[in-house]
Amino acid sequence: MADIIVHCGDFTDMGTEKEVLYFLNWFITLPYRYKIFITGNHDLCLWDADNIEDLPNNVFFLQDKSITLEGITLFGLGYNHNEKKIPTKADIIITHEPPLMILDESARRHWGNKAIRDRIFSTKPYAHLFGHAHESVGKILISDTLYANGAVLDDQYQLYQTQPLLHNI
Give the CATH number, domain containing residue 76: 3.60.21.10
In a domain, 62, yes or no: yes
In a domain, 154, yes or no: no
pLDDT tops 60 at residue 167? yes
In a domain, 144, yes or no: yes
Residue 89 belongs to domain spanning? 4-149
Number of domains observed in the structure of the chain = 1
Structure confidence by residue, pLDDT tens digits, 100-142: 999 999 888 999 999 999 999 999 999 999 998 878 889 999 9
Contacts of residue 16, defined as CB under 8 A and 6 or more positions apart, other chains included, come to: 45
CB distance 93 to 75 below 8 Å: yes
Average pLDDT value for the chain: 91
Contacts of 50-59 with CB under 8 Å at 24 or more apart are 52/24, 55/24, 55/28, 56/28, 58/33, 58/34, 59/24, 59/27, 59/28, 59/34, 59/35
In a domain, 108, yes or no: yes
In a domain, 123, yes or no: yes
In a domain, 53, yes or no: yes
pLDDT tops 70 at residue 161? no
In a domain, 163, yes or no: no
In a domain, 137, yes or no: yes
Rounded to whole angstroms, the Cα distance separating 140 from 37 reads: 21
